[in-house]
Each structure stands twice: as C-alpha cells, then as structure tokens.
Structure 1
Amino acid sequence: MGIHLIESFLQGKRPAPELCEDMLVINEDFVAVIDGATNVSGRKINGKSPGKLAAEIVKQTVERMDKKVTLEGMIEQINQSMQNFYQKQELLEEIKRKKWLAPSACMAIYSHYHREVWQIGDCQAMIEGELYKNEKHLDTITANARSLYLEAELKKGKTVDDLLVRDTGWEFIQPLILQQYYMQNDPQNQYGYEVINGFPIDLNMVQVTPVPADMTEIILASDGYPFLRNNLSDSEVTLGKLLREDPLCFRAYKASKGLVKGNESFDDRAYIRIRV
C-alpha cells in the first residue's frame, strides 16, 4: 500500500489566493507542507514576496526528487536550486549583507521510501495522534514582546478594533524579526534555528521522526494552525474559536502577528492528512 490522501486544505490569510506563501506537495513518494517566511522587509523579488519564492523553489525541487533521496541529499538539492536562483537574479552578494532579504521557508515532509517525517523549521506533524512540533525559542521572545506592547496600547486607550486595522505590536517587533535572520542555521548560537534558505543546514537541527511499519495516519500542517487536531474540520473549528476570542493572537495564543481587518486568518495555513 502506498500513500492514501484523506484530506488536504490550503488557505491564504489574505483574500487573494495568489498571495498565499504556504504550499503542498502530494505524490506517490513525498507529501509535504511548505511554509514560506512572512515578508518583513516589504521588498519583493520578481513581483513576489521572498517567502512565496522560497516556497515555490522548494515545491518544484521536491516534486522532481528521486524517491530514495536522503534528508541530506534533499537539502543539498533544494539549496542548489535556491543558489541558482540567487545567481541568476544577481542577489547573492546582497543577501550575504542583508540576511533578511533571503527567501526562506520551513517544511514538514514525509518520505515514503524512508518512512520518516523530516521537519525543518516550525511546521507540525501528527503521527497516529501524537503531535510533533519544532518551535524556535525566538518566536516565544518576539510573541511575548508583541503581547506586552499590545497590552500597553490597550491601557493607553486603543481598542482591539484599532489594532486589527494597524497592529503597532507587529511594527514594534519588526526590528527583532529582521535581526533573527542573522541566527538562521547557526547551531552554535543560543538563538540559532534551522530554515531552508539556500545555505547549509546542520542536520542535527532537523527533527526526524520514524513512521511505524504498519498502517499509520499522518497529518502535516503549517503553523497557521496553532492548535492542530486529528482532522481538518476540528482544526478549523479550533482556529475559528481562537480568531473570535483572541483575534490579535496576544493572549490565548501569543504569536508574532495577529488577524488583520479584512483578512481570513492571522497566517496562511496548509493541512494534509494521509494514511500510509
């Protein structure tokens, strides 16, 4: 028996679907959720956000990989694809100076040949009901800083509706988000974290989870689902409850960004459930 798709879903946080920076890969060898990093600088490359470009490059590379590729081989192929793009666009030197400009993405991928789930960054996995997260310490710092700032804004007279229009807490932590790019793929740094950006990744930073040999259910999801459940419907219901009760995502669930007025959610989201 191969990979049996049970359900999948992809939804951007903005009404325009072409702006979604999450992507899915589904074929007979690999199933993956890819999460392009949020654009902090506002700069675009070829009319697209860096996160969108990163997700596209990762998706296209994974879709043409040999089924027997190892984790190390997969990373090498993706990095080479990204390096080729940087050179073609003459971006490499600028990226070395301005780390935050580098297109980057996270991914959770299931290799059917190896029967393993590989998590690079903070995409989630659930295997037979057991949740595997791969959160980074920096996110806790920036989320708490934003939460504190928003609490103060409310004390000073702003309303939640005001902050849904202009999230001054997000503006406050943007310099921190820009700085964190310099800690990417640096296992020696106390704030180091792994991400796909075209540069080497320490394999020890990648979370590898074996999948049992018998029939197993696997869920992969981006962090657009802060509370992952055993099926898509329950995950959506839980997300909807959060967006109603804490739309700014600074109390019940502290995040670096919240819902913006007119958007669908606080983040893009991707979900896939399979049986193998």
Structure 2
Amino acid sequence: MEIKEQSITPKSRTVEPEDGIVVTENFIAVIDGSTSKSPVRLDPSMSNGRLCMLLISEYIRLASPQSSAADFCDGLTRHIARKYAGSDIARLTEHPEERLTASCIIYSHTRRQIWMIGDCQCLVDGQLHDNPKPSEAIIAGRRAEIALHMLQSGEATVASLRHDDKARKAIIPELIEAMHGQNITYAVADGFPIPMDKVRIVSLNPGRHDIIMASDGYPFLETTLAASEKRLASQLSTDPLNISHFKATKAYIDGNNSFDDRAYVSFRIE
C-alpha cells in the first residue's frame, strides 16, 4: 500500500485532530465521531463521538488481519460495549443519542475490501461509493426550508444563523428520532450489534487501484486533497448556511474553519 496524501482537519480550531485516520500494515481507516445531540457524556473530558472514534482507532490496531467484515464489526462492537460497563443498557437502548457513536470506513489489505460502516464515502479509480443515512437528506431539506423562511421573513440573517444556527436547533428532535434507526435501518459503530446488510462492502479486483476515503465533511469528493478543499471552500463561500444546492443538517458556524470535521486519505494498492 502506498499512501499518497492524507489530512485530518477539525471544524473547530480549538480541537486537536487525533486518530481520525489510522494506517497500519493491514488496515487503512477514516473515522468520524458523531456530532453530539445530547449533553450526556460517558467521559466528562470529551464528547461521546470523540471517545468512540478513539476506541475504533484502538481496535483497528488490535484486529486480526484475517478478519472478515462481519468478524471486524462483531469485534468492534464488543470493544466499544466494554465502555458501557456499569451503564444503564436499557436506557441506552431507548436513547441512542446517548451512545458512543461514530461512522468509519476501513480498507482491509488482506481481504482487498473496503468496509463502510455508517455515513462515509470513497472513490475507487474515480468512481464514487457512499453509504448515507436514509433520513439525512430529508432532514437536511427541512432545515433548509426553516432557514429560508427565517431569512425571507426577516427573523434571521445569514450572519445571525452562522452565529446561532436556529434552523439546526429546530431539527434536533427529528435528528434524535432518526437515531432510533441506528443499527436497525442504517449501520454505525456504537457498541450495539451492527446489521451486516447495512454495511456497504466494496470488493476490489486484482491489480492496481487508486483509492480515496473520506468523512462526510467533504460534500464533494475529488481525486486530490487540494481539489476537494477547493470545492469545499467554494461551498462555504457561496452558501455558508448549506441550504442551497448542497443541503446539510448544520451551517458553517462563524469562527470555525468548516461546517464539519473532515478527514481524507489517498492511497494506491497493487
């Protein structure tokens, strides 16, 4: 495996980018912790999404190179679930917004496969593969409608919504409700069993392949990091609220450097 370029960039300048990309002899991964939708934290020193990201990073370094996708998901689930020792599992079952949650995309060198657990994306020889949450586009569209109404009625301005994204606050109940489909209608890593029919597996033919794996912080994935960053910059400049041709569940908040954390790794296999 030849790593061509990689980058981890948190949306907030105050957060240190650690372990969002993992590269070992057997695996390459991009991990994206879920944005908190509840004030409940398993570890008071960090968000649940960040803690989950760190646990996934840890597990990848322990996983057997021979693991199938199912083996990996089972082992990862057990690894995260150990952190729930002493927690109210019944409550976590009913309130998935309080779980340790992350999406990840993993390349297995032994299996020559890409495993997509949750909302992530990749390019394989220029062809896009993604695995979006089923309700994400609908809820993002609803947020766009709310924001547009606020702008048109004079209730808010672009600047005020970049300071305080009231349109996002309005859809939080819908985002939490959608999370009840977590590891039922879509897959994530959260310490609960992952349905394998919701994990997208991309198998690679023998020979050379150029692969790019990234988090959903890149709304437009290009074949170079520079090109992906350029398109992101254009989006943030022309539509900072993310309510036009690209719709998201959050805005580009004033003081941050993007609307979401992003990670990008490009590599070649022979």
* TM tier relative to shorter chain: over 0.9
Distance 2:73 2:266 in 1: 24
- Equivalent position of 1:50 in the other structure: 48
Q: TM-score, structure 2 length as denominator?
A: 0.95
Structure 1 residues 21, 167: closer, same or farther in 2, change over 3 A? farther
Paired residues of 2:117 and 2:187 also in contact (CA < 8 A): yes
- Equivalent position of 1:232 in the other structure: 225
- Equivalent position of 2:173 in the other structure: 175
Distance 1:29 1:172 in 2: 43
Q: Which amino acid aligns with 2:188?
A: V
Q: Which amino acid aligns with 1:175?
A: P
Name the count of aligned residue pairs: 267
SS across alignment from 2:263:
strand
Could you list the per-position Cα deviations for residues 194-236 of structure 1 after superposition, in whole angstroms to 9, with x for gaps in the alignment?
Answer: 1111111221111111122111111000000000000100000
- Equivalent position of 1:38 in the other structure: 35
- Equivalent position of 1:196 in the other structure: 189
Could you list the per-position Cα deviations for residues 116-152 of structure 1 after superposition, in whole angstroms to 9, with x for gaps in the alignment?
Answer: 1111111101101111011122101110110000000
Equivalent runs, 1:1-276 vs 2, <5 Å: 3-18=1-16, 23-46=20-43, 47-87=45-85, 89-157=86-154, 158-186=156-184, 192-276=185-269
Distance 1:68 1:4 in 2: 20
RMSD across aligned positions (CA): 1.3
Distance 2:182 2:88 in 1: 18
Q: 1:66 deviation in Å?
A: 1.3
SS across alignment from 1:17:
coil
Paired residues of 2:19 and 2:54 also in contact (CA < 8 A): no
Structure 1 residues 229, 49: closer, same or farther in 2, change over 3 A? same
Q: Which amino acid aligns with 2:102?
A: A
Distance 1:50 1:165 in 2: 24
Paired residues of 1:22 and 1:222 also in contact (CA < 8 A): no
Distance 1:22 1:63 in 2: 11
Paired residues of 2:41 and 2:98 also in contact (CA < 8 A): no
Q: Which amino acid aligns with 2:263?
A: A
Q: 1:44 deviation in Å?
A: 2.6
Q: Which amino acid aligns with 1:63?
A: R
Distance 2:213 2:257 in 1: 21
Distance 1:75 1:85 in 2: 16
| Gaps in structure 1 of 5+ consecutive residues | 187-191
Could you list the per-position Cα deviations for residues 222-251 of structure 1 after superposition, in whole angstroms to 9, with x for gaps in the alignment?
Answer: 000000000100000000000000011111
Paired residues of 1:21 and 1:268 also in contact (CA < 8 A): no
Could you list the per-position Cα deviations for residues 8-54 of structure 1 after superposition, in whole angstroms to 9, with x for gaps in the alignment?
Answer: 00000001133x58711101110011111110113333221111111
Q: 1:98 deviation in Å?
A: 1.9
Q: TM-score, structure 1 length as denominator?
A: 0.93
Q: 1:6 deviation in Å?
A: 0.5
Structure 1 residues 195, 256: closer, same or farther in 2, change over 3 A? same
Distance 1:180 1:241 in 2: 30
Q: Which amino acid aligns with 1:224?
A: G
